Amino acid sequence: MPKKEKKRLQVVISDDQDALLTKLAYELSSPEQLVSKSEVVRLAIEKLADGMEEGQQKAELKALLKRLEEQEE
């Protein structure tokens, strides 16, 4: 996945979210290719964008957003 030279976003995440990112990166990695947490985030963004373009999963995404908002309270 090519990297773009853009200003990085600094996003605050919970310890649980960081642990999940680490777990996903580990599971996606292989001896031939290590996957970073940043790459997991980029993959997730692409997957979300694909779902939105197809018009699928909008209700699921809204429910997920609501769940994230509740966690922040």
Q: Which pLDDT tens digit goes with each residue over 16-63?
A: 889 999 999 999 999 999 999 999 999 988 988 887 776 666 777 778
- pLDDT above 70 (res 3): no
User: Residue 12: pLDDT above 80?
Assistant: yes
> pTM (2 decimals)?
0.68
- Distance between CA 5 and CA 53 in Å, rounded? 25
- Predicted local distance difference test score (pLDDT) of residue 35: 95
- Computed over its alpha carbons, how large is the radius of gyration of the chain? 14
Domain ranges of the chain: 15-72
Asked if residue 2 has pLDDT above 70, the reply is no
Q: Which residues contact 47 (CB under 8 A, 6 or more apart)?
A: none
Going from the C-alpha of 65 to that of each of 29, 34, 45, 50, the distances in angstroms are 28, 29, 14, 17
Cβ contacts of 51 within 8 Å, gap of 6 or more: 57, 58, 60, 61
What pLDDT is attached to residue 32?
94
